[in-house]
Structure 1
Amino acid sequence: MIPVAVVGAGIGGLTLTIALREQGIEASVFERANRLRDVGAGVALSANATRLLSRLGLGKALDVVGTEPTELIFRDRAGGRVAAHPIGGSYRDRFGAPYCGVRRADLQRLLSSAVDPRQLHLGREVRSVRELPSSAVLTFDDGEEIQAQLVVGSDGVNSVLRSWVTTEPGPAHSGTSGIRGLVRAEDIPSLPDSGAMQFWMGPGAHVLHYPLDGRKLINFLAVVDEPATWTASGWTEPIDLGQATSPFSDWHPCVREMFAAARPGIRWALLTQPPLRRWFRGRVVLLGDAVHAMLPHHGQGANQTIEDAVVLANCLGAARDDHQARFARYQFLRQARTRAVQRSSWQASAVLHLPDGPEARVRNAELAGLADKIAWIHMHDVGPVESAALLRAAR
Structure 2
Amino acid sequence: MPKRIAIIGAGIGGLTLAIDLQRKGLDVRIYEQTPVLKEVGAAVALSANATRFYMDRFGMAAQLGDKWAEVDGLIFRDGRTGEQISRLSSREEYRRRYGAPYAGIHRADLQAVLFGALDPASLHLSKRMTGIDDAGPAARLTFADGDEAEADLVIGADGARSLTRRLLLGYDDARYSGCTAARGIVAPELLPSLPDPEAIQFWMGPGGHLLHYPIGNGDQNFFLVKRESVPWAEKGWVVPAEDKKHIEPFAHWAPAVVEMISAVPVHEQWALFYRPPLTRWSQGRVTLLGDAAHATVPHHGQGANQSIEDAIVLSDLLSGSTDWDRARTEYEERRRFRTRKVVDASVTVGEMLHLPDGARAQERNARLAAPGAFDRHLDWIHAFRADDQVPASPAVAT
Task: Name the TM-score, length of structure 1 as normaliser.
Answer: 0.95
Q: Find the aligned partners of 2:175 and 2:102 in 1 and give their Cα distance.
A: 30
Out of 365, 368, 375, the position equivalent to 2:379 is: 375
Alignment match, 1:51: 52
When structure 1 is superposed on structure 2, of 120-129 and 141-150 the one drifting more is: 141-150
CA deviation after TM superposition for structure 1 residue 167, in Å: 4.2
**CA shift digits 1:295-350 (9 cap, x unpaired):** 11111000000000111111111112x22211111100100000011111111000
What is the Cα-based RMSD across aligned positions, in Å? 1.6
How many aligned positions are there? Answer: 392
Q: Find the aligned partners of 2:272 and 2:391 in 1 and give their Cα distance.
A: 34
Q: 1:1-395 to 2 correspondence within 5 Å?
A: 3-54=4-55, 55-77=57-79, 78-167=81-170, 170-214=173-217, 216-227=218-229, 229-230=231-232, 233-320=235-322, 322-368=323-369, 369-373=372-376, 374-388=378-392, 391=395, 393=397
Matched to 1:37, the amino acid is: K
Matched to 1:386, the amino acid is: V
**CA shift digits 1:273-297 (9 cap, x unpaired):** 0111120101010000101001111
Question: What secondary structure sits across from 1:51 in the alignment?
Answer: helix
When structure 1 is superposed on structure 2, of 195-204 and 363-372 the one drifting more is: 363-372
Matched to 2:9, the amino acid is: G
Structure 1, unpaired ranges of 5+: none
Question: What secondary structure sits across from 1:65 in the alignment?
Answer: coil
CA deviation after TM superposition for structure 1 residue 114, in Å: 0.5
Structure 2, unpaired ranges of 5+: none
CA deviation after TM superposition for structure 1 residue 389, in Å: 7.6
**Does structure 1 retain, via aligned residues, the 8 Å contact 2:317–2:390?**
no
CA deviation after TM superposition for structure 1 residue 266, in Å: 0.6
Q: Find the aligned partners of 1:140 and 1:102 in 2 and give their Cα distance.
A: 32
CA deviation after TM superposition for structure 1 residue 257, in Å: 1.4
Question: What secondary structure sits across from 1:250 in the alignment?
Answer: coil
Question: What secondary structure sits across from 2:158 in the alignment?
Answer: coil
**CA shift digits 1:26-45 (9 cap, x unpaired):** 20100000112242111100
**Does structure 1 retain, via aligned residues, the 8 Å contact 2:289–2:310?**
yes
When structure 1 is superposed on structure 2, of 26-35 and 322-331 the one drifting more is: 322-331
**Does structure 2 retain, via aligned residues, the 8 Å contact 1:176–1:270?**
yes
Task: Name the TM-score, length of structure 2 as normaliser.
Answer: 0.95
